[in-house]
Structure 1
């Protein structure tokens, strides 16, 4: 007979590793209370997650599903990292036929606003410029907002597809309780406001930093051993980790300016560079001519998988140049690293703005209209 005091909980995160990984961390925390978890995702995504520690393997079941067939979605595309950005919309269409969950901060959900204004098309913000200032329902003083170039990108997408704002609003409207990857110590006023505008219980579950000890197989990974050997030779807190997550692929201009900015800064750096998002990505980008030769010994550019968590935990790493994705920010703060912020999308833009307001990070100067930046602004921010 089942124990009435124990729960069986299903988790089904969005198909991006910035969502899958924190949901797995939440599942492990819940399982430690002896509740059973069914973690649902696709076969390939589950294979790419880190192994469970043996003491939790009987409490967390991985449930593998197949995505619905959608025109223009390649067969092997099961996560956002498998696709160029302009094709992620087809992954969202497939996921819409199932059930959707998000990992957003309370500040970003407040930025979207009450569900009814989106679902009933009553939002007073009709121009991109309207989203660059504080919303009317936010009663306290804050400069947290999006940049114009970030909003312009989302406006273009909304014309083509169902907007992510609508997806969030519809999901929240259909649920009884909202769990947030956050805590009162970080954004108490935003959590309280969210409960007011949703009129539903809000449960902050913490920031869920991943552990470095699960499984242990990474310790003997040949790729990690080479990286560790290089890091061990550097002075304490001297290295900049450069990583923009699986959701962001830099265009050629962005790649060039970051590379030359890193070179100009004269800091040692380790750059985890994604040059291709899945087999369907045919946009070729190249590092500046002679760059790798000029930075040899001082910098490393790695285009294969790297254990970012282990790199950030190393004593020689002082900070991270990041796209401001929530998972990367949580990992960096967890290990006490400084943050240089270069956000590209609306949710990461709000996170970056919030971190700057709290004096927890520094955002690289950008052109407000198109989001462009220079090698000089990259080098200046790192210094």
Structure 2
């Protein structure tokens, strides 16, 4: 049978975080639309939150999450947990091994695409005779920073301060590194039994190839270095810009759109700090103060962290007319696409940045200190598409004045003119669906080979 006619059964198994589940779903949807049979595996609560307009050859496979002491009842994703509780979620995820094994043994799967947390999965599939690929949902810069799998598995677990310098194996000009406060927070979310470094290393070492959410037009040197570090194929799957649009009938979006329609082009900055960024009450005061002192119109999406109750008293009345407060989940892609939006105060998450740069919006970089967000903050400043808010390296503190100054630099000051131009030019890469789909096509070809 010709490879173009051959159809695969592919299992997809992401980590229990929506920043992972949604990129994995993009890959799953693409493969299903190509006629491959796809089994998308997660826990019931997470699957219920997915879109319903999925291709018919994409099947959602529910696996109940085992309960462990310390994991709050009903919690099935990182969005429902403080970071210090995430290690319990990893323990419960590891306990899915028997259920995954049983499913794979009876389902006739050809390939499984899995996440970093399932460090045990390559061993399982090798015993069954299934091919596995590790899909890294971050940019290529982040795994390049972490180094070869042998070091991740066999080396000592790095101390937070070890990761605040550029590693010796980075063979291209770069100043990308973590700040101490970012790694101190990251360590709170690691399972002391099996570190994230070990999980990533074993996922790399046991896979046929490593897929990365990137493209050479943006990260040619990190992608090249990854193949050198891993000694196996590294397949960029493109940036996976979001394809689904929210219904224009949503009443809240209609109201916000009307508000934005009255604003000048590129005059409004969007405050989108993600759903899982923890900001202390003290920092919320400085954050709100900086937004207010910037003097510019804004849309602030306030989620669970921080909750609406943490907004300083009197803030909303003082910014009435100039600021629009949106509580809960927001249609970020649609907001960013509006002509009135001129920039985003970003937590530096890769998915959010892809949406922002896909619309040519410059970045006001405010690292959320989760996962690789700190590395992304330095990368985007290095690439000239944003300015980072100055923060204390030890504790992450900042002042409202420095935040206001950074907002204005990115949005309106002459020194930000090149940043604004650079971000606008990035639409040709980040917003180019035809280009990005070519990389997904390459992924399918590699799996068929």
TM-score, normalisation: structure 1? 0.90
Aligned residue pair count: 370
The answer as to 2:356 corresponding to 1:297 is: no
Residue matched to 1:47 = 48
Q: Equivalent residues in 2 for 1:212-291 (5 A)?
A: 212-213=244-245, 218-276=247-305, 286-291=310-315
The answer as to 2:384 corresponding to 1:359 is: yes
Residue matched to 1:117 = 151
Report SS of the residue matched to 2:312. Answer: coil
Report SS of the residue matched to 1:137. Answer: coil
Q: Mean alpha-carbon deviation: is it higher for 63-72 or for 161-170?
A: 161-170
Q: Cα–Cα, structure 1 residues 360 and 154, in superposed 2: closer, same or farther, change >3 Å? A: same
Q: 2:91 aligns with which of 85, 90, 93?
A: 93
Looking at structure 1, the residues matched to 293 and 287 of structure 2 have their Cα atoms a distance apart, in angstroms, of 10
- Segments of 4+ in structure 1 off by > 4 A? 155-161
| 1:318 CA displacement | 1.2
Report SS of the residue matched to 1:373. Answer: coil
| 1:263 CA displacement | 0.4
| 1:199 CA displacement | 0.9
Looking at structure 2, the residues matched to 97 and 112 of structure 1 have their Cα atoms a distance apart, in angstroms, of 26
Residue matched to 1:208 = 240
| 1:346 CA displacement | 4.7
Looking at structure 2, the residues matched to 313 and 233 of structure 1 have their Cα atoms a distance apart, in angstroms, of 15
Q: Equivalent residues in 2 for 1:139-150 (5 A)?
A: 139-150=171-182
Which sections of structure 2, spanning at least 5 residues, go unmatched?
98-113, 117-136, 409-449
Looking at structure 2, the residues matched to 158 and 60 of structure 1 have their Cα atoms a distance apart, in angstroms, of 32
Residue matched to 1:348 = 373
Which whole-Å deviations, capped at 9, do the CAs of 1:66-125 have from their partners, x for residues lacking one? 1111112223211111122222222122112336504222111111111111211257xx
Looking at structure 1, the residues matched to 265 and 37 of structure 2 have their Cα atoms a distance apart, in angstroms, of 42
Q: Cα–Cα, structure 1 residues 158 and 38, in superposed 2: closer, same or farther, change >3 Å? A: closer
Q: Is the 8 A contact 1:323 1:342 kept in 2?
A: yes
Looking at structure 2, the residues matched to 110 and 45 of structure 1 have their Cα atoms a distance apart, in angstroms, of 30
Which sections of structure 1, spanning at least 5 residues, go unmatched?
278-282
Report SS of the residue matched to 1:242. Answer: strand
Q: Is the 8 A contact 1:249 1:275 kept in 2?
A: no
Q: Cα–Cα, structure 1 residues 276 and 347, in superposed 2: closer, same or farther, change >3 Å? A: closer
The answer as to 2:364 corresponding to 1:371 is: no
Q: Cα–Cα, structure 1 residues 284 and 315, in superposed 2: closer, same or farther, change >3 Å? A: closer
Looking at structure 1, the residues matched to 188 and 6 of structure 2 have their Cα atoms a distance apart, in angstroms, of 49
Looking at structure 2, the residues matched to 88 and 208 of structure 1 have their Cα atoms a distance apart, in angstroms, of 26
Residue matched to 1:154 = 186
CA RMSD of aligned residues (A): 2.3
| 1:129 CA displacement | 3.0
Which whole-Å deviations, capped at 9, do the CAs of 1:48-80 have from their partners, x for residues lacking one? 22332xxx5212112222111111222321111
Report SS of the residue matched to 1:241. Answer: strand
Looking at structure 1, the residues matched to 407 and 78 of structure 2 have their Cα atoms a distance apart, in angstroms, of 29
Q: Cα–Cα, structure 1 residues 303 and 231, in superposed 2: closer, same or farther, change >3 Å? A: same
Looking at structure 2, the residues matched to 294 and 284 of structure 1 have their Cα atoms a distance apart, in angstroms, of 16
Report SS of the residue matched to 2:35. Answer: coil
TM-score, normalisation: structure 2? 0.77
| 1:156 CA displacement | 5.3
Residue matched to 2:363 = 339
| 1:347 CA displacement | 0.5
Looking at structure 1, the residues matched to 308 and 164 of structure 2 have their Cα atoms a distance apart, in angstroms, of 33
The answer as to 2:141 corresponding to 1:107 is: yes
Larger relative contact order, structure 1 or 2 (CA cutoff 8 Å, min sep 6): 1
The answer as to 2:199 corresponding to 1:167 is: yes
